[in-house]
Amino acid sequence: MKSRLINSVLASCVTLMVSLSAQADQTINYPDKNPIFSISFPDKWTVEEADQSVSASSEDELVNMELLALDAEALDSAVDIAKESLEEEFEGMKFKDAPEKGELNGMHVVFLNAQTTMEGVKMAVNCCIFAPKGADKFFMLFNVVPFESLEAHGEDISKIINSIKGE
């Protein structure tokens, strides 16, 4: 009886370790020198870093994210900057309600949610504005995803947003 229980526990541990290693993440510290935040993307996503941004897309390219770092002086107008940028990029943008404000992982955060239609496909468009306390930069994470694929990618998107930490 004991050996069956031990074997069962060992098998469960091996299964858990295999599933955890299969879900390894790519963690980006930004900027490389003297980072102000980190963000993690699923291992199979394509991630590209540039001087003031990080871009990522899901393996099936249905989810696209762009993270931009901006100087802290612009923080007061960050919501307006985000709305203007989205309206320039996407025709017919409709914002949902007022921006939601709060804290996440010790940072001030504002969430903007919108929707639009691109080439006949209804899209969810989101912007998260993160302000690490005491940093000279803040950053915006833009996310564009077809509503139909939210079921498949919603958990990844949530994990990515919740992975962001101020350094």
Could you read off the pLDDT of 78-90 as tens digits, one per residue?
888 888 888 888 8
- What is the percent of the chain with per-residue pLDDT over 90, rounded to a whole number? 27
| Nearest in space to 38 (alpha carbons), one of 167, 128, 153, 130 | 167
Q: Mean of the pLDDT values across residues 141-159?
A: 90
Q: How confident is the model at residue 53 (pLDDT cuts 50, 70, 90)?
A: confident
Could you read off the pLDDT of 1-34 as tens digits, one per residue?
433 333 333 333 333 333 333 345 899 887 777 7
CA gap 109, 88 in Å, rounded: 23
- Its pTM stands at 0.75
Cβ neighbours of residue 8 under 8 Å, at least 6 residues apart? none
Per-residue confidence (pLDDT) for residue 24, from 0 to 100: 59
CATH dotted code for 24-166: 3.40.1000.10
CA gap 52, 69 in Å, rounded: 5
Which amino acid does the sequence have at 122? Answer: K
Beta strands (DSSP E) in 1-146 are 25-30, 37-42, 46-49, 53-57, 64-71, 94-95, 100-104, 107-118, 121-132, 137-146
Q: What are the beta bridge partners of residue 39?
A: 28
> Residue ranges of the domains in the chain?
24-166
